[in-house]
Amino acid sequence: MFAAELLVAQNIGFAVIALLMIVGALRVVTTSNVVHAALWLVVVLSGAAAQYVLLAAEFVAVTQVLVYIGAVMVLFLFGTMLTRARIGTERDLNNPYWRLGIPVAGLLFAAMAIATVSSFGDEQLPADARVVSVAEISDQIFGPYLLPFWALSFVLLAAIIGAIVLARKD
Amino acid sequence: MLTSQFLLLGAILFCIGVYGVIARKNAVLVLMSIELILNSVNINLLAFALRNGSADGHTFALYIIAVAAAEVGVGLALVLLVYRNRRSISLDELSEMRG
């Protein structure tokens, strides 16, 4: 299935990174240590950035590294630090009915896999992928998608003010 | 590369994230699972952007990253507030709003 004639290196890279991401994601949702979960999440997010490079989306990959691995992970580690007296293994991180999640996730994946394979079974991505330049993305953002950009600015402003108001000690 | 291999990777990450949201009790871990879900959507959007040869998917992916950053900021502030009032961030203990 993965043995296209041309892009052997890309396919091997995809498989290795995808395996790493799946293992990391499983550890995020199963580990009993919150800090370890955050560090495994770094693995998944870095793998996602690598997949974006494979998908010829360099600017999004760089943004992913800057925003997620740079900023969001620091937020997570601070959140862990500020809400936990001790950093270490803990027992009660799961709900009592956590087993319910396995059939739900399995059924959801079965449905999505059937839909994906039946729609895009053997369709190849274009091999001579044109890298989308930053100028093109900025033309999109400041052209047809200007209104969502403004809305997003207000969302970020509201989030900043809201976070300060919520976390402030009175 | 096939289109479906990226879509299947996105589906796997999405389902693992859904499992995490259902199974986890710790609020910080639930937020991490939501990050997994948002990343799987980004992989799908960029795969379709490459397939269609357009930059629209890149724009959407950037917007999703920005919204996710805002969501984590507000979410962790909420978690901090709950922890300060309750000394616990177990989601099953927060039942004041149950009808």
Residue B96 lies in a domain: no
Number of domains in chain B: 1
d(CA A113, CA B4): 9
C-alpha separations of A47 from A11, A43, A164 in Å: 14, 6, 32
B84 Cβ partners below 8 Å, 6+ apart? Answer: A169
- Residues B22-63: tens digit of each pLDDT: 998 888 899 999 999 999 999 999 999 999 888 899 999 999
Sequence ranges of the domains in chain A: 8-91, 133-170
B36 touches chain A (CB under 8 A): yes
> Given an 8 Å threshold on Cβ–Cβ distance, is A163 in contact with B81?
no
CB A25 within 8 A of CB B17: yes
pLDDT of res. A1: 44
pLDDT of res. A156: 93
pLDDT of res. A81: 85
Q: Which domain holds residue B77?
A: 3-88
Residue B98 lies in a domain: no
CB A94 within 8 A of CB B24: yes
B18 touches chain A (CB under 8 A): yes
- Which chain A residues have a beta carbon less than 8 Å from that of B52? none
- Which chain B residues have a beta carbon less than 8 Å from that of A75? 72-73, 76
* Mean residue pLDDT across chain B: 89
- Which chain A residues have a beta carbon less than 8 Å from that of B55? 132, 136-137, 139-140
- Which chain B residues have a beta carbon less than 8 Å from that of A9? none
Pick the CATH number of A8-91 from 1.20.120.1200, 3.40.50.300, 3.40.50.1220, 3.40.50.620: 1.20.120.1200
> Given an 8 Å threshold on Cβ–Cβ distance, is B67 in contact with A162?
no
Residue B95 lies in a domain: no
pLDDT of res. B35: 94
A–B CB contacts, 8 A cutoff, strictly below: 260
| Residues in chain A with pLDDT values less than 70 | 1-6, 85-89
Q: Would you say residue B68 has pLDDT above 90?
A: yes
Q: What is the pTM of this model?
A: 0.89
Bridge partners for B26 per DSSP: B90
pLDDT of res. A2: 46
d(CA A51, CA A14): 7
C-alpha separations of A95 from A30, A71, A82, A90 in Å: 12, 29, 22, 13
> Among partner residues A67, A99, A117, which is closest to B4 by beta-carbon distance?
A117
Residue B54 lies in a domain: yes
Residue B58 lies in a domain: yes
C-alpha separations of A61 from A55, A112, A140, B51, B84 in Å: 10, 25, 17, 18, 36
Query: What's the CATH number where B12 sits?
Result: 1.10.287.3510
DSSP letters for chain B: -BHHHHHHHHHHHHHHHHHHHHHB-BHHHHHHHHHHHHHHHHHHHHHHHHHHT-SHHHHHHHHHHHHHHHHHHHHHHHHHHHHHHHS--BGGG--TT--
Residue B68 lies in a domain: yes
- Name the residue type at position B68: A
